[in-house]
Amino acid sequence: MLGTALLVGLEQPQLRRAHRLSRQLAVEIYNTDDTILDGQTLDISESGARILVDGNPNLPDVIELTLIGDFGRRVSLSGRVMRRTSAADNQTLLAVDFPALTADQYDALVLVLYSDVEEWYTQQRQAVDRPLHSFQFLATGLTRVFRETKPAGAAPVRKQIRAAVQMYWEGEYYPGVATAIGSRSLRIELDNCPPELTALRRTTVPVGILLSQDVSDPNPAQLLAQVESVETRRMLLVNAPSKQRMATATASVPMELSFPQTLDERQGDQIRQLLKKLV
């Protein structure tokens, strides 16, 4: 008992905001193409969940989903996909955070988690007690006490797209293609741009972005974005004269942009609409 008390005093801190319950709830994820993606939670709490879905869906980092209890009680909320990893049997595991629940959503979620539970109303249990496994867990507690625990890092999750984009900088428009978009970032590739665009790596002034599914769209979305990185790709002029043989020409300019948080009130709705309609 004294050893157990010492282990409790040395217990590692809880990294999550709320304790996860091992509950398998049905999940409906509303995809951007107006389809519903079915999934199931592996564990869940008031602050987030791990959700298993079939295939490798092309989802943005912010999703709308509905959790369904054992007796049909439902709660609809928004989630932010923090990580996605491949699982067995052609499945994908999504680590989803619930960042901003309203009071009504929180109350409905609590009812789904702690009230709408079939196991509490039956003598049948899906999880069978395993005494040897529990004893092993207690016996190895000392090794876990001194193990430094670190939270899993968030990996950028963005929807893969193919859309027309134009970047406006210093009075010139540079056309290209947008290849990935999230609620906070955008990846574009500009075609045949001059080398001086590498100066954008050091600029702190936002650039203008015109973004639409097709270049013929007369009303593209107008956004402001901050340049985070510029990666120049260069081609050697193999067929050039000898004096120019070492010269290079920029083939394309992949760029990582971020949407300033201070402009969310102005362009946040536009970005959410783009997440839904761009493919």
Distance from C-alpha of 110 to C-alpha of 113, rounded to nearest angstrom: 5
Task: Give kind and range of the element (H or E) at residue 142.
Answer: helix 141-145
Q: Does residue 126 register a pLDDT over 70?
A: no
What are 188-240's pLDDT values in tens digits? 998 876 666 666 766 778 889 999 998 888 889 999 999 888 876 554 444 44
Task: Give the whole-number percent of the chain exceeding pLDDT 90.
Answer: 35
What global pTM score does this model have? 0.76
Average pLDDT over residues 72-98: 90
Q: How far apart are CA 244 and CA 74, in angstroms?
A: 68
Given this model, what pLDDT does residue 129 score? 74
Tell me phi and psi for residue 6, to 5 degrees: -65, -40
- Whether pLDDT at 83 is above 60: yes
The stretch 10-14 carries a mean pLDDT of: 67
In the chain, what percentage of residues exceed pLDDT 70?
80
The one-letter amino acid at 188: I
Burial grade of 68 (CB within 10 A; 0-12, 13-18, 19 or more)? middle
Rounded Cα gap, residues 73 and 117, in angstroms: 10
3-state secondary structure of 93: strand
The domains located in the chain, with CATH, are 15-120 (2.40.10.220), 159-277 (2.40.10.220)
Q: Are 235 and 247 in contact (CB under 8 A)?
A: no
